[in-house]
Amino acid sequence: MNATNYVVLVLVWAGPVILIQWLIGLDLLLRRWKVWIPSIVAVSAFMLFVDGTAITGRSRILNPTQTTGGMLPIVNMPVEQAVLVIALVTMCVQGMVLMMYNEVLLARVQRLFAVFKRNPRRPRRPTQG
């Protein structure tokens, strides 16, 4: 396994989730940016500190052949692990903010499924009323 594979796998895993959150709720997230951006920064900083402490104290050991060797200087953590932590925190915080608008999101997802459910090749029958 190549040293950059870990970062690629994290981005392939987290990227679609974050993209879906932004596609469905971009306006809602932008409306509440003062909530989720500081939350991501604060929680990520805490998690990076705790994880970096565990790695430095050798209670968590990462295989050096699976990392690129780049380290974050303050927390002494491999960049790949930092990307994972920040991606996890981003998905969780944005998900929690979006859940405050669950009725709006439910309606949007239902409309999205309705669009995909229709077959564009088959003409719709008029409703009888």
How high is the pLDDT of residue 104? Answer: 92
Q: Give the pLDDT confidence of 83-101 residue by residue, as tens digits.
A: 999 999 999 999 999 999 9
Amino acid at 36: W
Say how many C-beta atoms besides its own lie within 10 A of residue 66's C-beta.
14
Is 102 inside a domain boundary? yes
Average pLDDT on 57-83 reads 80
Q: Is residue 110 part of a domain?
A: yes
Question: φ and ψ at 65, to 5 degrees?
Answer: -75, -15
Does 76 reside within a domain?
yes
Residues of the chain with pLDDT > 70, as a percent, come to: 90
Length of the chain counted residue by residue: 129
Q: Quick count: other Cβ atoms within 10 Å of Cβ 102?
A: 9
- Beta strands per DSSP E along the chain: 71-72, 77-78
Domain coverage including residue 15? 5-117
In a domain, 125, yes or no: no
Q: How many domains does the chain have?
A: 1
Does residue 128 sit within a domain?
no
Q: What is the pTM of this model?
A: 0.79
Residue 71 lies in a domain: yes
